[in-house]
Amino acid sequence: MSTIPHPDFSAERFARSPEARFEPAPADGVLPEGFFTTTNLPTYVRVGGRWRMPREPRMDGALVLSADGELWVREGRRVRQGEQVAMGQAEDGTEGIYVHASWMASGAEGEFKFMTSEVSREKPVDYARMARLLVEERERGGYPVWVTGPALVHSRARADMTWFVSNGFVGGLLAGNAVAVHDIEASIFGTTLGMSGAGEATTGGHGLHMRAINRVRAAGSIAKAVEQGVVRDGIMHACVLHRVPFVLTGSIRDDGPLPEVVTDNLAAQEAMRSHTKKATLVVMIATALHAIATGNMLPSFVTEADGSLRELTTICVDSSEFVVNKLKDRGTHQAFGVVTNAQDFLHILRLYVERELASRGKAGG
């Protein structure tokens, strides 16, 4: 149990601290505008030349000086009309109140704040900023690397992802066998893992991904299956059509696999690295394995042509905070987390990109 030393009030910084200022509560349960709101940290109030600690400390209360000279922390609703309430916002003693925060661990960063966690579903998502970044990357010929998991295809974000591939926002696509399998099952049979677009498991559906794989294996490759009209739309189709390079890496979970899949993991890492070393922006969606694998290979920075450095923007989208925190825990500290559903993310991002393009007088394509 760590002890907390009291502040040294003989220090020069406290020499000119004024007395705390008090005002009467205007009504029962109502505080004077400009009241001081408490934190849960050790708090010292300058009254009568002394630094005094209030009783019953808690956050979100007011400081009340009772008639008998005692100092209390009290919830606003319990304050009566006319009671003396401490005023001010400064927590550094310059208004007569000092909140002792410096002893705290880094989590709170030496100041009492709410919402300091880096990744949380409770934080807003800045789609406008992400859309601007994507459009700017396209304009200056950057190399955005997209890393995607199969949930993207499952959950019907497929059309939106195809749009991003077709419109020049994807420099290279890193994914696993499953992304291509689901995408191609959707193209041939209209299902993913036998689940209809409305999310229902279909009878006999469990074999459809195997039939899709078999047709591509019969064609010889994804590219040939596109050529032969076996695969007529979707993400892989767009990659082939628009010559967007992709790396499909294998895993022990794979069915098939599809012909292009790099089944050896060391060869797969080499193939991935040939893209990550050129990356000027990274978007990771709904994958722990591929996100962390890519994070392992990425520098946290981009070296510009003139030798200057900038942070490598790394967006990581997942339905739980866990994957983003894990990515950071494995050293990819620059990752910026978005906690949401992959389908919804892509849908809104596309809307914002289209809006950004319109505002610049650019066509969607």
The binder of a second copy chosen from 221, 288, 354, 362 (CB under 8 A): 288
Q: Which of 13, 242, 310, 355 binds a second copy (CB under 8 A)?
A: 310
- Binding-residue pattern over the window 37 to 76 for a second copy, x denoting contact by CB under 8 A: x-xxxx----------x--xxxxx--------------xx
Q: Which helix (H) or strand (E) holds 43?
A: strand 43-47
* Secondary structure (H, E, C), 195-229: ECCCCCECCCHHHHHHHHHHHHHHHCCHHHHHHCC
Task: State which of residues 50, 70, 201, 241 lies at the interface with a second copy (CB under 8 A).
Answer: 201
* Closer by beta carbon to a second copy, 85 or else 226: 85
- If binding is defined by CB under 8 A, does position 299 make contact with a second copy? yes
Distance of closest approach, residue 284 Cβ to a second copy, in angstroms: 13
CA torsion, ordered 69, 72, 74, 78, to nearest 10 deg = -30
Q: Which is nearer to a second copy, 243 or 252 (CB)?
A: 252
- With CA atoms as reference, report the closest residue to 311 among 327, 298, 320, 324: 298
- Span 13-42, contacts to a second copy by CB under 8 A: 26-27, 29-31, 33, 35-37, 39-42
Tell whether residue 279 is a contact of a second copy (CB under 8 A): no
228 scored as a contact of a second copy (CB under 8 A): no
Phi-psi region of 90 (alpha: psi -120 to 50; beta: other; left: phi over 0): beta
139-178: which residues touch a second copy (CB under 8 A)? 151, 154-156
Query: Distances from the Cα of 160 to the Cαs of 9, 153, 295, 348, 354, in angstroms?
Result: 61, 10, 24, 9, 12
Task: Find where tokens 């949401």 sit.
Answer: 340
Residue 80 in the binding site for a second copy (CB under 8 A): no
Residue selected from 70, 139, 227, 311 as contacting a second copy according to rule CB under 8 A: 311
Task: Determine which residue in the list 148, 162, 167, 313 makes contact with a second copy, applying CB under 8 A.
Answer: 313
The CA-atom distances, in angstroms, between 249 and each of 176, 233, 269, 302 are: 5, 21, 8, 25
Is residue 81 close enough to count as binding a second copy by CB under 8 A? no
Q: Which is nearer to a second copy, 218 or 241 (CB)?
A: 218
Q: From CA 250, how far away is CA 263, in angstroms rounded? A: 5
